[in-house]
Amino acid sequence: MDLQTIAEMEGTVAEKCMELAEILELTEPVSEEVLYAAIYDSNYARNLLNCRKQPVFLQHLLANPPAVPAEKKVEKLDASSQVALVQKMGEALWNWGKVGFTRVDDETNQKRLAACMSCPNLSDPPEALIYKMAAVAASNKQICTECGCLISRKTRLPSESCPSPHPTEPDVTRWGDPIH
C-alpha cells in the first residue's frame, strides 16, 4: 500500500495506526499514542521517518512518544482533509530531510511570503485538527487553498514549491520557480 492510497482512505484510528506502521516498515501497528504524537509533533514525525532503517533508535521513539493533549485526539480521521494533509506533511518532511533540514534564506522566505499574501488562494484554515496542531507556534496561520499547506511553514522549506502558476508569467509559479 502506498502513501497516496492511505491518504485517500477514511478509517478509524486503529486502521491509521497500522498504516503508519506500514510506512515505518513495521509488522505490528503503532500505538495510538505514537500516531497522535506523529500528527501533533512534526519533530517526532520527522524523527520516526529518519529512524525507520535504524531499529534501535526507532524502537526508542516508538516506546517514548511525546504526550498529546486529550482534546487533540479524535475517533475517526477524515480522508478528505486530515489524512491527506498528514500524508502531504509526511512527504514534505521526507523531502525536507533529503535537503538536510535546511531553510531558505530570509530574503527568499520574504519573497515567497509576499507572493502568498497577494494570492487569491490564501485563506484562514478550516477547523480541522491538523491545522490546529501545525499552527501551534506559527506566526501566520493562513493556508493555501490550492495545496492545503500552512504558508508560514511551507515558504521556509527549500524542498517545497508553490502549486499555482504566476498570474502573468505562465512558465513559473507565483514564487518565481519554473513549473515542472
pLDDT digit string, tens, across residues 58-82: 999 999 999 876 655 554 444 445 6
Q: What is the pTM of this model?
A: 0.55
Q: How much is the pLDDT for 70?
A: 65
Quick one: average pLDDT of 6-31? 75
Chain segment 149-169, per-residue pLDDT in tens: 888 889 999 999 999 999 999
Quick one: average pLDDT of 23-46? 84
Q: How much is the pLDDT for 5?
A: 39
Backbone angles phi, psi at 37, to 5 degrees: -65, -40
Q: How much is the pLDDT for 20?
A: 84
CA 131/CA 57 separation, integer angstroms: 29
User: Residues 29, 14: contact at Cβ < 8 Å?
Assistant: yes
Task: Check pLDDT > 50 for residue 2.
Answer: no
Chain segment 38-59, per-residue pLDDT in tens: 877 778 888 888 888 899 999 9
CA-closest candidate to residue 12, choices 86, 79, 77: 77
Backbone angles phi, psi at 145, to 5 degrees: -75, -15
Q: How much is the pLDDT for 134?
A: 61
DSSP β-bridge partners for residue 173: 165
CA 129/CA 40 separation, integer angstroms: 9
User: Residues 44, 38: contact at Cβ < 8 Å?
Assistant: yes
CA 156/CA 93 separation, integer angstroms: 12
Query: Cα separations (Å) of 122 from 33, 87, 102?
Result: 33, 21, 25
CA 139/CA 82 separation, integer angstroms: 21
